[in-house]
Amino acid sequence: MSQEKNKKKRKKKKKRPGLKAILQHRILSGLLVVVPLGLTVFILRFLYDFTAGRLEPVTRVLFTKVPEYGIAFVSILILLAATYGIGLIAHIVIGKKIIALAEGLLSKIPFVKTVYGASKQVVESLSLQDDANSFQSVVLVDFPCPGIKAFGFVTNTVVLRDTVSGEEKKHYRVFIPTTPNPTSGYLEFVPEDRAENAGISVEDAITTVMSAGLISPKMIGEPAGYSPEARHEDMRHG
């Protein structure tokens, strides 16, 4: 009986959160929702004003019958059409020469060449995901030293001959990307028995590299009992 009374007393002693604590908790919870949402809207609005928003005066002149609420939508369509047209021209020989000439001029301007070069690298790194099929599979290799693992993308195989013994051994041609810009990296020739299957897709590996590990699969590596034959098949078929 005494134990039950003590439990009841302890329950009574537990103080309920006051009005101030409740308000602070609710306001903090609201800020966690409102702040990211507000930043997203602000960034989208900034991007619109910087790109399609500049076309609104032209849109109003060309499309006089379009209501005011449709001006923004039409401006975005014009921007997309113009971007598509520029991309189409870039694939034509004359277009490539014009773009190369323009890039050559930009590369001579001290500040502009830095901004343009950095922006181009970001776009190229984002478009690298479209070329994911060029990689056969993802492996884990010891890099830059034994015991430290790094992602590597298998591009093909090659036979290397030992200059001393003359022994020939099959190696994987492995591209090890840098993060967060996977357009640069290192080319390594890794023996078959030194490359571990990462157990994830090429797309997941690229996402992990580009996000500096912030977005990554929970499990990486070969499953238990993984045989060399199974590893070789996975390397071939990705």
In angstroms, the CA 123 to CA 96 distance is: 17
Give the three-state DSSP class for 39.
Answer: helix
DSSP for residue 222: P
Q: Rounded to 5 degrees, what are φ and ψ at 175?
A: -100, 120
Q: In the chain, what percentage of residues exceed pLDDT 90? A: 13
Residue-level pLDDT at 142: 92
Q: Which residue has the tokens 């996402």?
A: 207
pTM exceeds 0.75 for this model: no
Listed residue (160, 164, 152, 148) closest to 200, CA to CA = 152
Instruction: Summarize pLDDT for 200-229 with one digit per residue, the tens.
Output: 888 888 888 888 888 888 888 866 555 555
In angstroms, the CA 151 to CA 140 distance is: 5
3-state secondary structure 78-127: HHHHHHHHHHHHHCCHHHHHHHHHHHHHHCCCHHHHHHHHHHHHHHHHHH
pLDDT > 80? residue 24: no
In angstroms, the CA 233 to CA 40 distance is: 44
10 Å Cβ neighbour count for 191?
A: 12
Domains of the chain: 92-128 (no CATH), 135-237 (2.30.30)
9 pLDDT band, cuts 50/70/90, is: low
Least confident interval from 21-30, 40-49, 121-130: 121-130
pLDDT > 90? residue 172: yes
